[in-house]
Amino acid sequence: MSSTTNVEVAAAPASIGDGLKTKVLFASLTGSAIEWFDYFLYGTVAGLVFNRLFFPNYDPVVALLLSYLSFSLPFFVRPFGGFVFAHIGDRIGRKKTLVLTLSCMGFATFLIGLLPGYDRIGVWAPILLVTLRVIQGLGISGEWGGALLLAYEYAPENRRGFAGSIPQMGVPLGMLLATLAMTLMSILPDAEFIAWGWRVPFLLSAVLVFLGLWIRNGIDETPDFKKAKQSGDVAKIPLIDTVRYHWREVLIATGAKVVETAPFYVFTTFVVGYATGTLKFEKVTVLNAITIASLVTVCMIPIMGGLSDRIGRKAVFLTGTVLMAAFAFPYFYLLDLRQPWSITLATVVTVGLIWAPIVATLGTLMSEIFSTRVRYTGITLGSQIGAAVAGGTAPLVATWLLSEFSGNWASIAVYIMLCAVVSFVAVSRVDRRSAA
C-alpha cells in the first residue's frame, strides 16, 4: 500500500493565498458541474425521449432497454479515454488536460441537440447518437480526475478532505441543473417536448462550456505537479508504472467506485423510466424528487468532506456504504406507495443523505493511496473501470432484473446491497495512514 502522498508536499500549498485557493475550488467545481450537466442530460432524456425518438421500431420494453444500452456503452470506452487523458495529466499537467476534456464533452453534447431522429435519417440516428455519447464518455473519463486533483493538490493537508469534496459537488449540481432544465421543458405539451423541447438544454450547454473554459484558463498548474516536474519525478509511461507498482490500489479504487456509481444511477436514471412507466408517476413529480434530492446532496457533500478531515475518509465512507445496503429495500417500499411525498422522501434519503458521505470522500480516499507521479492515472483507472463495470450498466441491469422477475423490485434491492458489500470490502483494505 502506498502512503507516500500525504507527506510529499504537505507544506507546499500552505503559502498559496486564500483568493487563489477559492478560485481553484471554484474552477474545479464549475468545470465538473458543467461536464456532469451535459452527461446527466443524456441520462434523463434516455428514459423519456430517446426510446421513442431513436428506437421507435421496437416494443416499449426493448426500446427502453436499447435506450439504456446507449447510455451504458460509453462507460466501457471511458477506461480507454481515461488512459489517454490521465497520461497527459501525469506527463504534461492537470490544467491542459481539463481544457481538453471540457471541450470534448461540450462539442458532443451540443451536436446531440442537433441530431435528427429515426424518422428523418433512419438507422443513422441511433448510430450517431451512440457515437456522440461515446465522445461524451471520453470527455468525462478524464475530467473527474483532473477536477479532483486541481482541488486536492492545491489544498493544505488538513483540509484536503473538504477540498476534495468540492469538485464532487459537481455531480449533484450538474444533475440538478440538468433535471431543472428538463423539468422546465416538460411543461411543454408532450408533442412539442418530443419534437424540440428536449433539445434546448443540450444546445444551451455550449454557453456553460465557454464559461468553464474561461474560468480554467486563469488557473496555474497544481503545486504537487510542479514540484514533481521540477524534481524530475514524472513517469514516462504512467499507465505501466501504475499497473506494475500500484495494482492493489487500483483494485481498491475500482471496488470503492461500485457503491458510489451503481446505486446512484438506479436512483436517478433507472427510476425515471420505472416510476413514470411502471408506477405511473407524473414525469414532473419524478424530476422534482431528483431536483430536491440534488439540492440536499450539494449541501451535504462539503459537510461530509469536512467531517472526513476530522474523523477520517474511511470512517465516513464505510458508514455511507452500510446505510446504502440497509436502505435498499425501504427505498422500493416507499416507491410502491405511489405518492409524490414517498418518491421524494425515498430519493432525498438515498441520494441526498446516504450517497453524500460516499461521494464526498471517494475522490480524496483514492488520491491518498497513489503517489503524485501516477495519481491522475491511478484514480482515473480505478474510477473508470468501476464506472464501466457497475455504473453504466446499472439502469440496464435494473431494467433487466425487473423484467426477468416479473416486475418484482426485490432483485434490484439485492443488487444494490451487493454493490455496497463490494465497496465495503475494498475500502476496508485501505491503509489507516493513508485514509485518516
Range of the domain at 291: 13-220+235-435
Instruction: Provide the 3-class DSSP secondary structure of residue 312.
Output: coil
The C-alpha atoms of residue 33 and residue 31 are separated, in whole angstroms, by 5
**pLDDT top residue among 232 and 395:** 395
Contact between 146 and 101 under an 8 Å Cβ cutoff? The reply is yes
Q: Structurally, how many domains does the chain consist of?
A: 1
Residue 278 is assigned to a structural domain of this protein:
yes
Q: To the nearest whole number, what is the mean pLDDT of the chain? A: 83
The C-alpha atoms of residue 391 and residue 80 are separated, in whole angstroms, by 16
Is residue 276's pLDDT more than 70?
yes
Residue 199 is assigned to a structural domain of this protein:
yes
- CB contact burial 175-188 (16+ within 10 A = b; e otherwise): bbbbbbbbbebbee
The pLDDT of residue 417: 97
The pLDDT of residue 303: 96
For residues 78-101, give the mean pLDDT.
Answer: 78
Residue 62 is assigned to a structural domain of this protein:
yes
CA–CA distances in Å: residue 127 to residues 122, 150, 336, 360: 9, 35, 36, 36
Is residue 304's pLDDT more than 50?
yes
Mean pLDDT comparison of 35-44, 209-218, 337-346, highest-scoring range: 337-346
Q: 145: which 3 cell numbers?
A: 480526475
CATH assignment of the domain containing 200:
1.20.1250.20
Mean pLDDT comparison of 12-26, 91-105, 396-410, highest-scoring range: 396-410
The pLDDT of residue 10: 39
Instruction: Provide the 3-class DSSP secondary structure of residue 58.
Output: coil
Residue 117 is assigned to a structural domain of this protein:
yes
The C-alpha atoms of residue 177 and residue 169 are separated, in whole angstroms, by 12
CA–CA distances in Å: residue 270 to residues 50, 94, 399: 14, 33, 7
**pLDDT top residue among 49 and 56:** 49
Stated as kind and residue range, the H or E segment containing 75 is helix 60-91
Residue 229 is assigned to a structural domain of this protein:
no
**Closest residue by Cα to residue 281 from 208, 321, 337:** 337
Give the number of residues written for the chain.
436
Residues above pLDDT 90, as percent of the chain: 29
**pLDDT top residue among 434 and 206:** 206
The number of C-alpha atoms within 13 Å of 195 and in the hemisphere containing its C-beta is: 5
Amino acid code (one letter) for 185: M
Stated as kind and residue range, the H or E segment containing 234 is none
Is residue 433's pLDDT more than 50?
no
Contact between 205 and 37 under an 8 Å Cβ cutoff? The reply is yes
For residues 379-397, give the mean pLDDT.
Answer: 85
Amino acid code (one letter) for 147: A
Residue 401 is assigned to a structural domain of this protein:
yes
- What confidence category does residue 2 fall into, taking pLDDT thresholds of 50, 70 and 90? very low
- CA-atom Rg of the chain in angstroms: 21
**pLDDT top residue among 238 and 311:** 311
Is residue 9's pLDDT more than 60?
no
CA–CA distances in Å: residue 95 to residues 26, 58, 135, 164, 409: 14, 45, 20, 16, 44
Residue 7 is assigned to a structural domain of this protein:
no
Q: 324: which 3 cell numbers?
A: 446504502
Predicted structure pTM score: 0.78
Q: 20-38 pLDDT, tens per residue?
A: 577 788 878 887 788 778 7
Is residue 422's pLDDT more than 90?
yes
For residues 380-384, give the mean pLDDT.
Answer: 86
For residues 214-224, give the mean pLDDT.
Answer: 74
The C-alpha atoms of residue 178 and residue 36 are separated, in whole angstroms, by 8
Is residue 186's pLDDT more than 90?
no
**Closest residue by Cα to residue 242 from 433, 376, 95:** 376
Residue 2 is assigned to a structural domain of this protein:
no
For residues 163-192, give the mean pLDDT.
Answer: 85
For residues 100-129, give the mean pLDDT.
Answer: 86
Is residue 16's pLDDT more than 70?
no
